[in-house]
């Protein structure tokens, strides 16, 4: 029975923090906790039956503990990834931002830092979080930064920039043949490859893209 109590306390801790993350899993965990509590309070005359039920509930409690913990850690990791993505967009917007937009950029950077620190702490010390509220705030910051980028860039630059990022996101961060990239962006934007190359150069000089070339004979 002591092991059931121990497993119950562990599960209770994680159940509390996933209520807003996965309502279905939360309900399953609550039902299991009630079942465990009921078993602890019942009187048994058949020791073999008691042993069997105790072992069964111990296993169920442990499995649910693993599920709830994994769900929480996964959600926090995804949110941290969204923070990193938003920081990248904001950094690019900062490069082209006008003087009057600098204050807004700094405010957004400070808020992102707060969210980053909050999530880092939450990962180490589990606590109830509201992922929808965080997603909403990150989307607001990202959209504002993207709007600044769109204002500072020409229509052609925006097309090349977006298609280049889309292509590199598909392939990951591995090296890409320059001709392959130029042909892809040219096809997607209906621009000549020479114009795509000139636009990429302009975006690179503005610090919005990092284009690296490896020449092999």
Structural domain boundaries in the chain: 2-72, 75-152, 155-205
Contact 123, 76 (CB under 8 A): yes
pLDDT at 106: 94
Question: Longest C-alpha distance within the chain, in Å?
Answer: 86
Residue 213 CA from chain centroid, whole number: 31
Instruction: Say how far residue 6 (Cα) sits from the centre of its chain.
Output: 32
The pLDDT of residue 100: 81
Identify the residue whose tokens are 């992102």: 112
pLDDT of residue 1: 54
Residue 176, SS3 per DSSP: coil
Regions of the chain with pLDDT less than 70: 1-3, 42-47, 49-50, 217
Residues 6 or more apart whose Cβ sits within 8 Å of residue 138: 82, 83, 86, 112, 115
Rounded Cα distance, 76 and 83, in Å: 11
For residue 95, the number of C-alpha atoms closer than 13 Å in the C-beta half-sphere is: 16
Res 171: pLDDT: 78
pLDDT for 206? 83
Residue 137 is predicted with a pLDDT of: 97
The per-residue pLDDT for 28 is 93
Contact 37, 147 (CB under 8 A): no
Q: What is the pTM of this model?
A: 0.72
């Amino acid at each position: 029975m002591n092991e059931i109590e121990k497993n119950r306390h562990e599960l209770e801790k994680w159940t509390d923090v996933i209520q807003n993350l996965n309502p279905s899993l939360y309900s399953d965990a609550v039902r299991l906790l009630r079942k465990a509590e009921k078993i602890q309070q019942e009187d048994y005359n058949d020791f073999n039956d008691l042993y069997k039920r105790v072992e069964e509930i111990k296993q169920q409690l442990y499995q649910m503990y693993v599920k709830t913990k994994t769900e929480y850690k996964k959600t926090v990791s995804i949110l941290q990834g969204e923070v990193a993505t938003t920081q990248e967009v904001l950094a690019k917007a900062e490069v082209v931002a006008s003087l009057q937009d600098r204050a807004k950029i700094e405010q957004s950077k400070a808020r992102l830092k707060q969210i980053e620190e909050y999530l880092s702490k939450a990962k180490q010390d589990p606590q109830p979080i509201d992922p929808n509220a965080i997603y909403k705030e990150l989307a607001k910051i990202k959209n504002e930064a993207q709007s600044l980028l769109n204002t500072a860039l020409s229509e052609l630059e925006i097309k090349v920039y977006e298609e280049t990022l889309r292509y590199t996101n598909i392939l990951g961060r591995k090296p890409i043949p320059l001709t392959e990239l130029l042909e892809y962006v040219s096809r997607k934007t209906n621009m000549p490859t020479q114009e795509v190359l000139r636009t990429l150069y302009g975006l690179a000089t503005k610090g919005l893209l990092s284009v690296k070339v490896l020449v092999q004979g």
